[in-house]
Amino acid sequence: MLSGISRRSRALRGHVFPKPLPNSSSINLARLPPALLRPRRFMCRNAASDNEEVAAKAAAKIADTGAPTIFDKIIAKEIPSTIVYEDDKVLAFRDINPQAPVHIVVIPKIRDGLTQLGKAEVRHAEVLGHLLFAAKLVAEKEGIVDGFRVVINNGPEACQSVYHLHLHVLGGRQLKWPPG
């Protein structure tokens, strides 16, 4: 886990250092659809270009196939991540392309059809509540409980890039309005 000091200095430099994915000798990344391995920074950044929208739409098509996502590898701990909270239902880890000094992704460990919030059914209400409560626990652990934003992207127009429901928890800086 990154220390508060290193996170702060990284934010002050105004850019981020995504952790490298492990090389293919240890994990067969070829089995994951290429669009899911594309760094999010190339998608939906500021004014979304035609190319970015095409990429997001491609990811959406993969979603409908029920294909595994990079989150399956993170849950299985086959790809390293910096986990900040975990219980029997959810996992929370640092975003590899943080958009704020603190930027955590919270996911259900079992996708159960929840490729995105728009697929939620009544039976999912319990895990949805658990995810939001976990977001609050994460904010407490990260020392941002007095100032944080939770964001859920659904579909290409909202810049969703991984089709496994996830909540972004952002904080540690003044967030702006509108939210994207």
Taking CB under 8 A as the criterion, the residue among 4, 22, 113, 129 binding a second copy is 129
Binding piece for a second copy, criterion CB under 8 A, among 4-12, 27-35, 71-79, 137-145: 137-145
Binding piece for a second copy, criterion CB under 8 A, among 1-9, 19-27, 43-51, 73-81: 43-51
Q: Which of 35, 105, 96 is nearest to 65 (CA)?
A: 35
Whole-number Å distance between alpha carbons of 41 and 99: 10
Neighbours of 54 (CB within 10 A): 11
The three-state DSSP-derived secondary structure of 55-85 is HHHHHHHHHCCCCCCHHHHHHCCCCCCCEEE
Whole-number Å distance between alpha carbons of 143 and 5: 13
Helix (H, G, I), strand (E, B) or coil at 85: strand
Q: Which amino acid is at 101?
A: P
With CB under 8 A as the rule, give the number of residues binding a second copy: 55
Taking CB under 8 A as the criterion, the residue among 1, 37, 76, 125 binding a second copy is 125
Query: Residue 141 belongs to what H/E stretch?
Result: helix 125-141
Residue 61 in the binding site for a second copy (CB under 8 A): no
Distance of CA 175 to the CA centre of its chain: 18
| Interface positions, 150-169, toward a second copy (CB under 8 A) | 150-159, 168
Q: Which of 117, 5, 26 is nearest to 73 (CA)?
A: 26
Output 33 or 98, the one with its CB closest to a second copy.
Answer: 98
Is 166 among the residues known to form the active site? yes
Binding piece for a second copy, criterion CB under 8 A, among 4-12, 21-29, 65-73, 127-135: 127-135
Residue 173 in the binding site for a second copy (CB under 8 A): yes
- Shortest gap between Cβ of 9 and a second copy (angstroms)? 20
Question: Looking at the annotation, which residues are catalytic?
Answer: 166
Instruction: Give the binding site for a second copy (CB under 8 A).
Output: 40, 43-48, 53, 99-100, 117-118, 120, 122, 124-133, 135-136, 139-140, 144-159, 168, 170-171, 173-180
